[in-house]
Amino acid sequence: MLTLLKKIFIWWNQETLGTKLKTIFYGKLAGCDSTGNKYYESKTGKRWIIYSGEIDASKIPGEWYSWMHFTNNRIQNNHDLEKYSWQKPHQSNQTGTDHAYHPNKNNEQIKKKYTSWKG
């Protein structure tokens, strides 16, 4: 019962019942990305995404971001574009996690290249 109520009212857990029904009746699957997100488009041109796992807009890779925002570029029709060997795979925003960047992450003493003036 609680799972059903979460599906109906709580949008941050996954798609709500309204989004599920809209996707079933009006959505045409445009494709999926490497993280499992599914992209849909209606006949009127409206586009939306069903996230896999936690809902976070930073999980959208660049090629699908341009598609979602109607940006015309060379990857609009080719979402499986080959990446170069030097390109890193897409990551969502790591702020607030253990993987976030911090200059003194290992609690090492920062070596100053100057001495402070004491007067």
Q: What confidence tens digit (pLDDT) does each residue in 67-100 have?
A: 888 887 654 555 556 778 888 887 888 888 888 8
Measured CA to CA, the distance from residue 61 to residue 81 in angstroms comes to 12
> pLDDT class for 2, splitting at 50, 70, 90?
low
Query: Taking the complete model, does pTM exceed 0.85, yes or no?
Result: no
Strand partners, 48: 40
Three-state DSSP class for residue 28: strand
Largest CA distance in the chain: 75
Average pLDDT over every residue of 9-31: 81
CA 106 to chain centre: 28
Task: Name the range with the highest mean pLDDT among 8-12, 65-69, 98-102, 106-110.
Answer: 65-69
Distances (CA, A) of 84 to 73, 77, 81, 87, 89: 18, 19, 10, 5, 10
